[in-house]
Structure 1
Amino acid sequence: MEDDEQLVENARDSGISRTFDLSEQSLKFIRTFLRGFGSGAALYAGFKVVGALTRNPFRKGIPNILTLLRRDYKDLLRFAGFLALYPSVYHLCVDLLKYYRQKQDGWTHSIAGGVASFTVIVENDSRRTFMTFFAIARALGAGLSTLVARETIPAIPFFDIMTFSACGAYIVYSAAVKPSNLSEGYYRSLLKWSRGFTDASLARIYRLPGDRFISCQEAGMHSDTCTKHALKDFFQSLLPFASLYLPIHLTPILVFRRKLLIERPKKTALSLVKNLFYSSAFLSSMVMLAKYTMCVLRNFEGKPPPAAGWIPSVAGVVCGLSLLWERVNRRKELAMFLIPHTLLGIYKMGLKSSPRLVSSSPLIVMLLFAVSMMTLMHAYERQPGSLTPLLGGLLKYFVGTRITVLPHTKHE
């Protein structure tokens, strides 16, 4: 667990207090809690807008955010409450461990991160489960990045694209053949992104038996030829997906890089437009390649439904090539986005096949989240370069500036 740089093994000479001021700690806890709650509520509102657009990027107009928040205010309280409690408990645990152990090492932050993770109990079951697999994916990514940085294992070229394609194979297969493997909301989003595929059309082609081959036109997937539809679909999807990505790219600028926006507005705006185009092209290509590959392979097979399960799996692998549109430093984050959905699907399959796992699943989820957060908080304090920019920025914003200062490294 210790960093090979051995950050401040004994912190008696680095400002560790010999006393524990309860009143001072209480005020610090309350300040951290209130800041986290306000930021969490604002983030929840942003997620609601982005989520509404993600589920249907082809809608007209912006969803009514006030209506969404009034309807889901209890969910807002749970989400904001966790983002308020986690950093508050984390910092309290760090201070307690520093006081009783009289040193500040990797175990301090790992233990504090694990203890604070149990505040996730305030969340609802579905989001707690997804957050757990989100944390697992990021912990695995941080671990691999650390091993590569230490030259323990070699860097594999295009590993992010291979990971994205592997997850894509599972997700496209599940959407076509076994949608119960995916969360209902994510499956509905995939259908809306597809521009033409419906649950009924996918069921007719990939799940229900038939006595003859059914064309794409007959199934109601599209009226043009497969090639013509794919080309039209790519260009018609660019603008709607740009509207989806605008808040995703704009929010980090407004939250984390406001100074750069003021000092270099033209350069920042041009960078935003360029990144917006690449991201829109990536998502349009991903959807187009998945659909077109499924069309081509199914027509090549030419058999009555249900079509073979390998067809959507191959389509998922092929659509992973769309990641080449994105900047290299964003590919890892996008691959990390698919991993939780894949892990969640595998977990749901396990629940179906093992009734014993169902009864113990809440405890398993909590323990997995705790272990993952132990790893991530250790990485945040000791090996920050192993985290993706998005995760590092989120931790810095909600947890605060790193407590540990690396040798020869400026404090963030």
Structure 2
Amino acid sequence: MKNYVISAADQLIIQSGTPFSCEIVHPGQSCEMNILLNLPRIMKSNAKVYLPVHLIPFLLYKRKQLIKNPISTISRALVSYFKSICFLSFMVQILRYNWCKQKNLLKKVDPFVPSSGGFISSFALLLESNTRAMEICLSIVPRFCETVVNLLKSRGKMINIPHGDVIVFSFVIAIIHYYYQHDPKSLKSTYYKVFEKIWGIN
């Protein structure tokens, strides 16, 4: 499939928020056709992204299950792998489709377009398994907090705390270690095994 390269001039138009034609992004194709035709390519690319994410924990923590029940273990792993690929691929394509439709509807590109796209595309997380969906949520929350802090700093509404990241890390480790000691069932089994190797049983 042909990949279109957006010129520097067109990129400036898009980034400036000026209304632009969809022909800039996917010339000769409708928005719907572009999304559908590019979906296999996106899924192939995301398959490479998620392969180590699923393969490494599988090899580290599922070896006993693999020996005991290989067919069932591999089947569940493949289903989980495919769910992750679908989640990320559909999320990306929904974002792109929303961008096209919203800017055509509003006749402009404003903060509502990416915000609404992010909200709508997030429902692709329903394609993920419950445990991995929770992991994704937990990984996104710190990034959100970091973005808010950086935004406040850039606008001069928050002072810069030296080694603030170390302080936050200390609080997080303290909380994790508390539950590791007093309520280990609240931690994911794979995480608990890692902490057990690091901290041991006290």
Fold in common (TM above 0.5): yes
Matched, 1:375 2:175: yes
Distance 1:293 1:397, change over 3 A: farther
What secondary structure does 1:295 align onto? helix
Residue of structure 2 in register with 1:208 after alignment: 16
Residue of structure 1 in register with 2:139 after alignment: 337
Instruction: Identify unmatched segments of 5+ residues in structure 2.
Output: none
1:352-410: per-residue Cα shift (whole Å, max 9, x none)?
A: 2339723x331x2222221221111101221223334554343234333x43xxxxxxx
In 1, distance between residues paired with 2:4 and 2:115?
19
In 1, distance between residues paired with 2:7 and 2:86?
25
Distance 1:367 1:323, change over 3 A: same
**Structure number with bigger Rg:** 1
Percent identity reads 24
Q: Provide the aligned length of Structure 1 versus Structure 2.
A: 198
Query: What displacement does 1:336 show?
Result: 1.2
Residue of structure 2 in register with 1:77 after alignment: none
Residue of structure 2 in register with 1:387 after alignment: 187
* Residue pair 1:216, 1:295 contacting (<8 A) in 2 also: yes
- Determine which of 87, 90, 99 is the counterpart of 1:282: 87
Query: What displacement does 1:322 show?
Result: 0.4
What secondary structure does 2:148 align onto? helix
Query: What displacement does 1:315 show?
Result: 0.1
Instruction: Identify unmatched segments of 5+ residues in structure 1.
Output: 1-194, 404-412
In 1, distance between residues paired with 2:156 and 2:185?
39
* Residue pair 1:298, 1:311 contacting (<8 A) in 2 also: yes
Distance 1:393 1:235, change over 3 A: farther
Residue of structure 1 in register with 2:37 after alignment: 232
In 2, distance between residues paired with 1:222 and 1:392?
47
* Residue pair 2:152, 2:158 contacting (<8 A) in 1 also: no
Residue type of the partner of 2:67?
I
In 2, distance between residues paired with 1:197 and 1:326?
32
TM-score by length of 2: 0.85
Query: What displacement does 1:350 show?
Result: 2.6
Equivalent runs, 1:240-251 vs 2, <5 Å: 240-251=45-56
What secondary structure does 1:222 align onto? coil
Residue of structure 1 in register with 2:198 after alignment: 398
TM-score by length of 1: 0.44
Give the structure, 1 or 2, with the largest relative contact order (CA under 8 Å, sep 6 or more).
1
Query: What displacement does 1:310 show?
Result: 0.7
Distance 1:297 1:266, change over 3 A: same
In 2, distance between residues paired with 1:273 and 1:334?
19
Distance 1:397 1:232, change over 3 A: farther
Equivalent runs, 1:245-260 vs 2, <5 Å: 245-260=50-65
* Residue pair 1:333, 1:390 contacting (<8 A) in 2 also: no
Residue type of the partner of 1:254?
L
Residue of structure 2 in register with 1:85 after alignment: none
* Residue pair 2:180, 2:192 contacting (<8 A) in 1 also: yes
Residue of structure 2 in register with 1:178 after alignment: none
